[in-house]
């Protein structure tokens, strides 16, 4: 199982070879283990636009890059096409663009939505996939137990089905190590068996026949959810709606380097916001993604929703398809400035992955978080599972922790007197 290191000396991820129990069709975890050692060339991913779902306003309520006026040039070159950069009072660099075809005219008298106000007001204890070290990942049992156990936030993944349903699942495919088939959705279905196929190639009716309750070797203490059915995002939103203190951190599982395996960012954004609005939890969601194209789309459609930029050493590289047009070289390699360029309110570094931008030494993480805080950005690392690593991250001043073991982290926070639920 993963053994993330302390922030001062961070080895390569222990799961670069795949998820515990991952098999054919599985891909490395973009919240616990990005694929390591990979590089991409510019132009491999297209422009990421979808005419049917294009969001007109990009970076409508954009990031503030706390830097001197000299930073404006590099930040401007890092922004998506059509964006602009201006220097405001005190040398603050303001990045953004004007709507070209807004769905609703802007009201100049209306107060600007503040996404920071929607973030947790306490330390953010996040149950990764509902707490997969304790229960079957992303199961109803995992999420309901995590809520009852006092977590701040339910962290989850969304994949889009072939018929446009936001499905709560981590991998592109239904893997044989996690799932088993039962029966075809319709007699003689040529796609049956479904296990091994990509979610994006299956309808919700087909996905609903599969049971994902197999134990994973990497999590021997996990309580299996017998006969577990894959959930829809609406199911988890309904669970969160039972407790107004609970937040949702929803990741768009976009395959930026293999776009045929997932829906485009616009479809994810439309679906996630639609479900959140229907459930009445829009003021308690965050949207996170390794594919930074997602973030300005959310900001344009829902300015009050906080944005979380996931990253590690395999994504923060020149020519990466994951960065939404941001060029690390144009911002001097500074991931904080890069995340601000797409409007991120939170940075989520991979605590188990190589992170050369966080200075080495016992105070390295503290220096990074202090600098992020000075720029108005929170830091919430993933996925931190051992007591030693939890203590090290807390000593480094992080604002939250994403963990497979929320009960373990809760005990540490209680011992330190750290509040984690308002």
| CA distance readout (Å), 354 to 27, 34, 36, 229, 314 | 19, 10, 9, 35, 8
Is residue 168 reached through a cis peptide bond, with omega within 30 degrees of 0 on the bond before it?
no
Where on the phi/psi map is residue 413: left (φ > 0), alpha (ψ -120 to 50), or beta? alpha
The residues, ordered by sequence, that sit 6+ positions from 245 with a Cβ below 8 Å of its Cβ are 152, 421, 422
Output the tens digit of pLDDT for each of the chain's 422 residues.
333 333 333 333 333 333 444 443 444 444 444 433 332 333 333 333 333 333 333 333 333 333 333 333 333 433 444 343 332 322 333 333 333 333 344 445 556 789 999 999 999 999 999 999 999 999 999 999 999 999 999 999 999 999 999 999 999 999 999 999 999 999 999 999 999 999 999 999 999 999 999 999 999 999 999 999 999 999 999 999 999 999 999 999 999 999 999 999 999 999 999 999 999 999 999 999 999 999 999 999 999 999 999 999 899 999 999 999 999 999 999 999 999 999 999 999 998 765 778 887 779 999 999 999 999 999 999 999 999 999 999 999 999 999 999 999 999 999 999 999 98
Helix H or strand E encompassing 391: helix 387-395
Classify residue 245: in a domain, yes or no: yes
Classify residue 223: in a domain, yes or no: yes
Classify residue 47: in a domain, yes or no: no
Number of domains in the chain: 1
Classify residue 32: in a domain, yes or no: no
CATH code of the domain covering residue 229: 3.20.20.190
**Helix pair 364-374, 387-395: axis angle to 10 deg:** 50
DSSP label of 75:
H
Q: Give the Cβ contact number of residue 205 at 10 Å.
A: 14
Classify residue 260: in a domain, yes or no: yes
**Helix pair 233-241, 140-148: axis angle to 10 deg:** 20
Listing DSSP states for 167-213 in one string gives: EE-SSSB--TTT-B----SSTT-TT-S-TTSBGGGS-HHHHTT-B--
Q: What CA–CA distance (Å, rounded) separates 199 from 207?
A: 7
Residue ranges making up the domain that contains 154: 114-416
Classify residue 99: in a domain, yes or no: no
Q: What CA–CA distance (Å, rounded) separates 384 from 403?
A: 5
pLDDT value at residue 23: 41
Tokens of 151: 């977590």
Q: What CA–CA distance (Å, rounded) separates 375 from 412?
A: 28
Strand 153-160 relative to strand 166-168: parallel, antiparallel, unpaired? antiparallel
Classify residue 247: in a domain, yes or no: yes
Classify residue 182: in a domain, yes or no: yes
pLDDT value at residue 353: 62
Strand 231-232 relative to strand 166-168: parallel, antiparallel, unpaired? antiparallel
pLDDT value at residue 94: 34
pLDDT value at residue 354: 58
């Amino acid at each position: 199982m993963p053994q993330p290191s302390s922030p001062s000396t961070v080895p390569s991820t222990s799961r670069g070879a795949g998820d515990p129990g991952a098999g054919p069709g599985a891909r490395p975890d973009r919240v616990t283990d990005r694929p390591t050692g990979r590089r991409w060339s510019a132009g491999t991913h297209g422009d990421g636009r979808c005419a049917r779902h294009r969001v007109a306003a990009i970076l409508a309520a954009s990031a503030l890059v706390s830097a001197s006026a000299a930073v404006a040039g590099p930040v401007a070159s890092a922004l998506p096409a059509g964006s602009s950069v201006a220097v405001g009072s005190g040398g603050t660099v303001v990045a953004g663009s004007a709507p070209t075809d807004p769905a609703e005219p802007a009201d100049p008298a209306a107060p600007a939505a503040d996404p920071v106000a929607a973030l947790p007001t306490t330390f953010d204890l996040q149950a990764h996939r509902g707490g997969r070290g304790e229960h079957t990942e992303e199961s109803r049992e995992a999420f309901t137990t995590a809520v009852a156990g006092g977590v701040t936030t339910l962290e989850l993944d969304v994949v889009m089905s072939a018929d446009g349903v936001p499905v709560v699942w981590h991998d592109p495919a239904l893997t044989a190590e996690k799932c088993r088939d039962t029966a075809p959705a319709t007699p003689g279905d040529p796609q049956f068996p479904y296990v091994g196929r990509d979610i994006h190639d299956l309808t919700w009716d087909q996905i609903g026949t599969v049971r994902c309750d197999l134990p994973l070797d990497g999590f021997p203490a996990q309580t299996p959810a017998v006969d577990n059915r894959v959930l829809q995002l609406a199911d988890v939103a309904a669970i969160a709606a039972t407790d107004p203190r609970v937040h949702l951190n929803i990741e768009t599982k976009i395959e930026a380097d293999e776009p045929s395996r997932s829906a485009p960012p616009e479809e994810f954004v439309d679906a996630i916001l639609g479900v959140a609005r229907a459930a009445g939890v829009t003021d308690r969601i965050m949207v996170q993604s390794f594919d930074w194209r997602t973030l300005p789309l959310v900001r344009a459609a829902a300015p009050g929703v906080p944005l979380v930029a996931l990253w590690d050493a395999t994504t923060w590289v020149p020519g990466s398809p994951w960065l939404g047009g941001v060029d690390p070289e144009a911002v001097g390699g500074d991931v904080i400035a890069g995340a601000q360029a797409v409007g991120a309110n939170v940075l989520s570094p991979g605590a188990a992955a190589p992170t050369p931008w966080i200075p080495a030494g016992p105070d390295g993480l503290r220096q990074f978080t202090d600098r992020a805080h000075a720029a108005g950005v929170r830091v919430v690392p993933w996925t931190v599972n051992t007591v030693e690593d939890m203590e090290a991250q807390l000593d480094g001043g992080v604002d939250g922790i994403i963990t497979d073991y929320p009960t373990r982290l809760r005990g540490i926070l209680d011992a330190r007197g750290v509040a984690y639920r308002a």
